[in-house]
Amino acid sequence: MNTLETILENRLLNTWIRHFNRAPFQINNPHEADAELIEIEDDSSRLLAITIDTISEEISTGLYQTPFTMGWVTVMAGFSDLAAVGAVPLGIVTAISLEPNRSDSFKQGIAQGMSAACKRLGVFILGGDTNTGSMISLTGCAVGIVPKENKMIRIGCRPGDSVFISGPAGSGSALGLTRFAGIFENAFPENDYRPIARLKEGQLIRNYASCCMDTSDGVIATLDQLMRLNQVGFEIDMAPERFLHPAALALANTVNLPAWMMLAGHHGEFELIFTIPPKHIDPFLNYANGQNWMPFRIGKVIEKPTVKFLLNGKLEGIDTGRIRNLFIEVEGNIDAYIKGLNNILITF
Amino acid sequence: MNTLETILENRLLNTWIRHFNRAPFQINNPHEADAELIEIEDDSSRLLAITIDTISEEISTGLYQTPFTMGWVTVMAGFSDLAAVGAVPLGIVTAISLEPNRSDSFKQGIAQGMSAACKRLGVFILGGDTNTGSMISLTGCAVGIVPKENKMIRIGCRPGDSVFISGPAGSGSALGLTRFAGIFENAFPENDYRPIARLKEGQLIRNYASCCMDTSDGVIATLDQLMRLNQVGFEIDMAPERFLHPAALALANTVNLPAWMMLAGHHGEFELIFTIPPKHIDPFLNYANGQNWMPFRIGKVIEKPTVKFLLNGKLEGIDTGRIRNLFIEVEGNIDAYIKGLNNILITF
């Protein structure tokens, strides 16, 4: 089944959504965009883009251990959602909950991570709220503005469109694998995980793309969600090795995992996956290259709703829905997850 | 000392703020407004208002026990900040963290509380994020639009201005006292605590007021913060009994506490405290009464930075700064807090 509801995560979100009336001035339906798109009264040409993300499970599970990473990703996650709708950022507000006994240097680390991420993007923290509690919870709510005419959501790709990714993938999986698979310490150091929201690229892409979504949950989850939303398939005909982050590829080789598994972790790298219709390919690539940006053309949109990867030189369908649900079913146990991935590939 | 830094809470917030650069297009300085006010490119007449608030300590301490209240207040807290800057709301996004074992009916309760609050205000939840964790944490980020000319912040009142409150105060303290002072069960039932953000009133007030702030932390904390920000004082010459919520007053009488103490709890009721310059009083009151709204004129702005209440028929200064810090010092112990309040009054 290729419906949204096949995926546990979508179903969980829907149990909340069904209680709420939808704003009549909201452009996107649920699941349809990385950021919510809202009409602004008396402004016929622009939309407000707003998104909220909490970083807490990444901390409680031990995936992020340094406060700098926690602060950095809180900021990047918010702006990455804005990037995926092509928004010009206005800023971010943050809500910070910490245990009462956290040291000043720990708090400083979070603040420095947030501040460095803002500087890297040329954006600002506008305000915030602080609380104490029994766990670390960092929430960022980013806002921006999108021209109505060039709005970009997860919907709109058609068979024949080319599929792109904005940069190398797999650093999110690499960090997850290093932390949880008990392979060896620091195979992929946390300090190397410094994803950068593709804000400028998003604003460029919106002039050409038929759909766009960020890879905050990993490449495979992103392609799966786009498949369900658009009722199309994706043939990823570039070998995963060729668009993996070098450190992620090296790690896969070291631990003897197939390269595609570095796209299957539910912890991504905040790149953008987007599709470009044939007639826009040349102008898009010319413009992108003029900006010294080389996105990877990784495949094409096909009619049949399935996701195919080039595995050992052959295009093979992967049951991406089962992969996404598996992560919830194994409750985060990485050994069980990798075993499960192997089984999915064998039985598909 | 009447500086902002005298107050522990302000100091804590400043330790975060000093790490961040301020956005050049942000209108308000830190502490100066209930919601952040941001210039929008190519819109010379309007500002974006945005605010973020987490409800978690109110839950972990047992102040809120029903999920409906938790959801209701999450929504109201966000829109109350918008009300205090006179914004027209665009909507709210929410981030919900719950323990993994929470029942469906508990989740439904939160959703119903959020939904009911939105319906009461005529606003919408635009989107959100859900997580699991070791505690309940509900964050709301509300956005709205304010006309630049009529923007309203916490700064601007002058000696001679009248001080108003939008409605009866003390229900927040009443709930706190009932929960924590061990007086008797249900003296003030949680279901009676249903604060309503003063959105419409805020939009009316902004045409007349010299400053405004909501009472989310209680009346005394609000007056204290306004005193420090404006370097003026407040003479509250209406007896507290006359603008207390009837149930809060009844509770104070029952437990033999002076009425003013129902303004001293650090849990408020989301009314607005605002000041009106003499020349605007008549037009403001005419307009408000035409809308069937009767705010209380509770006092006036004075030159000397001190907060005076009418206690036993006499205007007495209250050390509001010590009251605010006391709450943090006693770490939420209500018995110690009430003892401390009595001492402050005696020794001042």
Cβ-nearest to B130 among A16, A111, A115: A16
Do A262 and A252 form a contact (C-beta atoms < 8 A)? yes
The C-alpha atoms of residue A262 and residue A249 are separated, in whole angstroms, by 8
- What is the DSSP code (8-state) at residue A287? H
Model pLDDT for residues A41-84, shown as the tens digit of each residue: 889 999 999 999 999 999 999 999 999 999 999 999 999 999 99
Query: Position A24: which residue type?
Result: P
pLDDT of residue A346: 66
pLDDT above 90: residue A87: yes
Dihedral sign of CA atoms B303, B305, B310, B313 in order? negative
pLDDT-wise least confident of A317-331, B77-91, B127-141: A317-331
Angstroms from A139 CA to nearest CA on chain B: 8
Mean pLDDT, range A250-273, rounded to an integer: 93
* pLDDT (mean) for B255-259: 90
Predicted confidence at residue B346, as pLDDT, reads 66
- What average pLDDT does the segment B105-116 reach? 98
For residues A131 and A134, what is the distance between their CA atoms, to the nearest angstrom? 10
| Residue-averaged pLDDT of chain A | 94
- Under a CB-based contact definition with an 8 Å cutoff, are residues A205 and A212 in contact? yes
Q: Which of B259, B169, B176 is nearest to B222 (CA)?
A: B169
Alpha-carbon span A22 to B144, nearest angstrom: 17
B135 interaction partners in chain A (CB closer than 8 Å): 133-135
Let me know: does B30 contact A144? Beta carbons within 8 Å: no
Q: Can you give the pLDDT at residue A321?
A: 94
Q: Give residue A290's pLDDT.
A: 94
For residue A151, what pLDDT band results from cuts at 50, 70 and 90? confident
Whether the predicted pLDDT of B348 surpasses 60: no
Q: What residues have CB less than 8 Å from A94, skipping those under 6 apart?
A: A74, A75, A114, A125, A128, A129, A138, A139, A140, A141, B52
pTM of the model: 0.96
Q: What was the pLDDT predicted at A185?
A: 64
- Residue B330's pLDDT is what? 84
What does the alpha-carbon distance between residue A246 and residue A149 come to, in Å, rounded to a whole number?
A: 38
Task: Please tell me whether residue A140 adopts helix, strand or coil conformation.
Answer: strand
* pLDDT the model gives residue A331: 78
Closest residue to B52, CB basis, from A26, A115, A129:
A129
Considering only alpha carbons, which residue of chain B is nearest residue A20? B115
Q: What is the ipTM of this complex?
A: 0.96
* Contact check, Cβ <8 Å, A93/B60: no
Confidence of residue B179 (pLDDT cuts 50, 70, 90): confident
Percent over 90 (pLDDT), chain B: 84
Of B16, B43, B97, the CB nearest to A128: B16
Instruction: Give A139's contacts in chain B (Cβ within 8 Å).
Output: 52, 54, 95, 129, 139, 141
Tell me the pLDDT band of A339, cut-offs 50, 70 and 90.
confident
Contact A115 B20 (CB under 8 A): yes
Q: Which of A87, A88, A112, A90 is nearest to B27 (CA)?
A: A90
The amino acid occupying position A214 is D
Token reading at B94 = 């929410």
Contact residues on chain A for B95, CB-CB shorter than 8 A: 52-54, 95, 139, 141
Q: Which residues contact B211 (CB under 8 A, 6 or more apart)?
A: B152, B153, B154, B155, B156, B157, B226, B230, B274, B275
* The pLDDT value given to residue A328: 81
Q: How far apart are CA A314 and CA B195, in angstroms?
A: 62
**Packing angle of the helix pair A8-17, B104-121 (nearest 10 deg):** 40
What pLDDT is recorded for position A1?
65
Angle A203-A209-A210 (CA atoms, 0-180°, nearest 5)?
Answer: 135
What's the gap in Å between the CA of B124 and the closest CA on chain A?
A: 5
CA distances to A70, A99, B60, B62, B137 from B134, in Å: 18, 12, 11, 15, 9
What residues are paired with A125 via a beta bridge?
A92
* Cα torsion through A290, A295, A300, A305, rounded to 10: -130
Residue A44 sits at φ, ψ, to 5 deg, of -80, -10
Which of B53-57, B222-226, B272-276, B326-330 bottoms out in mean pLDDT, i.e. has the lowest? B326-330
Q: Taking a C-beta distance cutoff of 8 angstroms, is the pair B130, A12 a contact?
A: yes
Burial pattern A9-47, b for ≥16 Cβ within 10 A else e, equals bbeebeebbebbeebebbbbebbbbbbbbbbbeebeebb
Neighbour count for residue A161 (Cβ, 10 Å): 25
- Tokens 């007021």 locate to B209
What is the phi-psi region of residue A131: left when phi exceeds 0, alpha when psi lies from -120 to 50, beta otherwise?
beta
Split at pLDDT 50, 70, 90, the class of B336 is confident
Query: Is B125's CB within 8 Å of A96's CB?
Result: no
Q: CB distance B139–A139 less than 8 Å?
A: yes
Please give the radius of gyration of chain A, using alpha carbons only, rounded to the nearest integer.
19
In 3D, which of A100, A102, A9, A105 has the Cα closest to residue A57? Answer: A9
Q: How far is B197 from chain A (nearest CA, A)?
A: 19
Within 13 A of B135's CA, how many CA atoms are on the CB side?
Answer: 23
Interchain contact, B22 vs A132, CB within 8 Å = no
CB A165 within 8 A of CB A45: no
Q: Which residue of B has its CA nearest to A28?
A: B126
Nearest to B97 among A15, A119, A137 (CB): A137
Question: Mean pLDDT across the stretch A92-105?
Answer: 96
A90/B141 Cβ within 8 A: no
Beta bridge partners of A338: none
Query: How many whole angstroms separate alpha carbon A6 and alpha carbon B232?
Result: 61
Backbone angles phi, psi at A267, to 5 degrees: -135, 115
| Mutation for testing the A interface, residue in B103, B143, B216 having most A CBs under 10 Å | B143
| Beta-carbon pairs below 8 A across chains A and B | 187
Most confidently modeled range among A320-324, B67-71, B322-326: B67-71
Look over chain B and give the mean of its residue pLDDT values, rounded to a whole number: 94
Strand A233-236 and strand A307-311: the pairing is parallel
Q: What pLDDT shows up at residue A120?
A: 98
Taking alpha carbons only, the member of A220, A259, A257 closest to residue A334 is A257
pLDDT for A348 = 55
For residues A212 and A157, give the distance between their C-alpha atoms in angstroms, rounded to a whole number: 9
Sequence-distant (≥ 6) Cβ neighbours of residue B347 within 8 angstroms? none
Q: Residue A54 is nearest to which of B13, B91, B129, comparing CB atoms?
A: B129
pLDDT tens profile B293-318? 999 999 999 999 999 999 989 999 99
Query: Taking Cα atoms as reference points, which of B117, B137, B122, B182 lies closest to residue B338?
Result: B182
Backbone angles phi, psi at A205, to 5 degrees: -60, -40
d(CA B136, CA B79): 21
CB within 8 Å: A130 and B13:
yes
Q: What is the pLDDT of residue A252?
A: 92
Residues in chain A closer than 8 A to B88 (CB atoms):
41
Residue B93: its chain A contacts at CB < 8 A?
36, 50-52, 141
Which pLDDT belongs to residue B296?
98
Most B-contacting residue of A137, A148, A267 (CB-CB within 10 A), to test interface:
A137
Site from B131, B134, B135 to mutate, A interface, most A CB atoms within 10 angstroms: B131
Inter-chain residue contact A114 with B38, CB threshold 8 Å: no
Residue B233's pLDDT band, with cuts at 50, 70 and 90, is very high
Closest A-chain CA to B50: A93
Please say if the pLDDT value at position B184 is more than 80: no
Interface contact flag, A56 B94, Cβ < 8 Å? no
Q: Which residues of B touch A21 (CB under 8 A)?
A: 115, 118-119, 124
Contact A90 B40 (CB under 8 A): yes
Give CA–CA dist B283/B58, Å, rounded: 39
pLDDT of A340: 86
Interchain proximity B16–A115, CB inside 8 Å: no
